[in-house]
Amino acid sequence: MPWQTLLHTRERLAGGALDDWYAALLAQVGEDTPFTLAVLGGRLAATPGLAFLAGYQGALRALWPAAPRTLGALCVTENRSTRPADMSTRLDDLQLNGRKDFVTAADAADWLLVVARVEAAGASPQLALGVVRNGDPGVRIENLPALALMPDVSHGRLHLDNAHCERLAGDGWDAYAKPFRTIEDLHVLSALGAWLYGVGEDSGWPAALQLRLLGLLAGCAEVSCLCVGAATTHVILAGLFAQFAALRNDVDAAMAAGPAQWAALWQRDCNLLEIARTAREKRLQNALATLQA
């Protein structure tokens, strides 16, 4: 992680079309690690939503190192569930059929990773991961209304009708969908922490608060080097989220005392890390049980 770049960055990338914003971000970051993409993307973001997008894209590249440099998305959810048994999207002979209901930046994504079932009739659910290109035959995006949280990051529904795909090696659940939850948590936390650090610099926050945010980012850098599936990794990551939670009162107070533009954005999007809180808590419980066994 080029810490000097983070500490000396003062500019921000203006918002706009998500794919254009992301292309501008890549021009700034260059060929670097997914963690660096998340952190510098968060620092350069004008909103928490764009910071989230940078973290999300970093997480995708940590999951799939061969990912194209363009904007992408992972498509898992069906009918508000990510359980394999609840999925109906299928992959047969490199053809995908089905629907994914909550895809981040779907309309702007160039490529889409699709989790789909591949088991024979009557067998237990087995998942694979296919890659399709937005706009290819049989691939259609239905735009969904903006959410109150991070309205600048669009969401959409993916419809697949005999869409030809590339199948990635490995089990769709164990190698991709399951570890992505942890990878995304880490990279989004890192991006949001970097965004807050930048706001603190711009707003003249107390040095002690800015240093605590840097300490959080340093911890995130360490976790980015650990095995994503290890119980110890989940416990240490939970410690970073606890560290962030301990910062909230001071961050909220600093926001309230600073420029109104930052305070309004923070009030709107401050709970974006709460989206996956229940799943994180369950993973922590499982990790602690494993370590205590």
Please indicate whether residue 1 or residue 170 has the higher confidence score (pLDDT): 170
192 and 250 in a common domain: yes
Indicate whether 120 pLDDT > 80.
yes
Split at pLDDT 50, 70, 90, the class of 265 is very high
Q: Which of 133, 167, 201 is where one domain is finished?
A: 167
Same domain, 121 and 216: no
Q: Given this model, what pLDDT does residue 293 score?
A: 79
Residue 4 pLDDT = 81
Count Cα atoms within 13 angstroms, Cβ side, for 110: 11
Which domain covers residue 214, as residue numbers? Answer: 3-63+175-292
Per-residue pLDDT at 218: 96
Q: Are 180 and 51 part of one and the same domain?
A: yes
* 156 shares its domain with 119: yes
- Residue 10 CB partners (closer than 8 Å, separation 6+): 201
**pLDDT tens figures, 204-249:** 999 999 999 999 999 999 999 999 999 999 999 999 999 999 999 9
Beta bridge partners of 157: 142
Looking at residue 176, what is its pLDDT? 98
Does position 184 have pLDDT exceeding 70, yes or no? Answer: yes
pLDDT tens profile 10-27: 889 988 899 999 999 999
Residue 149 CB partners (closer than 8 Å, separation 6+): 268, 269, 271, 272, 275
Cβ burial 96-121 (10 Å sphere, 16+ → b, else e):
bbbbbbbbbbbbbbebbbbbbbbeee
Give residue 275's identity as a one-letter amino acid code.
I
Task: Look at residue 1 in the predicted model and tell me its pLDDT.
Answer: 61
Tell me the per-residue pLDDT of 56-111, one tens digit each, with 9 for 90 and over: 999 999 999 999 999 999 999 999 999 999 999 999 999 999 999 999 999 999 99
The residue among 109, 138, 167 that closes a domain is 167
